[in-house]
Amino acid sequence: MIRLVLADDHAIVREGLKRIIEAASGFQVVGEAGDGSEVLRLVREFEFDLLVLDLSMPGRSGMELIRLVKAEKPRLRILVLSMHQESQYAVRAIKSGASGYLTKESAPALLEQALRKIAAGGAWVSADVAQQLALGAMPGSEQAPHEALSAREFEVFRLLASGMSVTDIGTRLSLSVKTVSSHKANLMHKLGLGNSAELVRYAMRHGLVES
């Protein structure tokens, strides 16, 4: 029996996932989490085989949470189930320690296949993501500027590009306005951007937000 924990800040999403997963043979959902703190508590207090993780929960960024979970339990397998279709999110998730990446629009049968492959020790990514990972590992390969952003900076960048204010981002990520403003200043400097319009254009040009 493969024991799983579901992590998503929407209870209705967790319930739907639970029904899909437990309808397949060999799976048991043993815990649920609605934010990053609950995820870490379950990781520390319980033994299970696989974590199904949403990237966009309140509190810690998804990439940061992946790293923290792997630091606690290096052998725990993680499948990221996200609303983001852009391959850059998948690449960052895999580099952070996830074993697979699937969008929430995927068919239930695909979710079952991904879970079984990851539980067996494999990985699950699209061909596009696999190609980007391979190219990034080649000697002399050039990184796009946004790939140098920290997990938190990338999360703030994504939310700014989607049109959220610094105040709203602080509320979303449980950070002070001062901290968000500091992240914004750092990422703008790293990307060589002068204003919010340039930030949005950069994000659209690199396929990091929907145009």
Tell me the domain boundaries of the chain.
2-137, 145-205
Q: What is the pLDDT of residue 133?
A: 64
pLDDT in tens, 21-61: 999 999 999 999 999 999 999 999 999 999 999 988 877 76
CA atoms of 81 and 103, how far apart (whole Å): 5
CA atoms of 52 and 206, how far apart (whole Å): 27
What DSSP character marks residue 55? S
Residue of 76, 131, 65, 126 whose CA lies nearest to 101: 126
Contact status, residue 63 vs residue 56, Cβ threshold 8 Å: no
The overall pTM is greater than 0.75: no
pLDDT in tens, 89-138: 788 888 889 999 998 888 899 999 999 999 999 999 876 676 666 555 44
Residue of 53, 16, 15 whose CA lies nearest to 35: 53
CATH code of the domain made up of 145-205: 1.10.10.10
What DSSP character marks residue 53? E
Residue of 94, 144, 164, 82 whose CA lies nearest to 122: 94
* CATH architecture, domain 2-137: 3-Layer(aba) Sandwich (3.40)
How far out from the chain centre does Cα 35 lie? 13
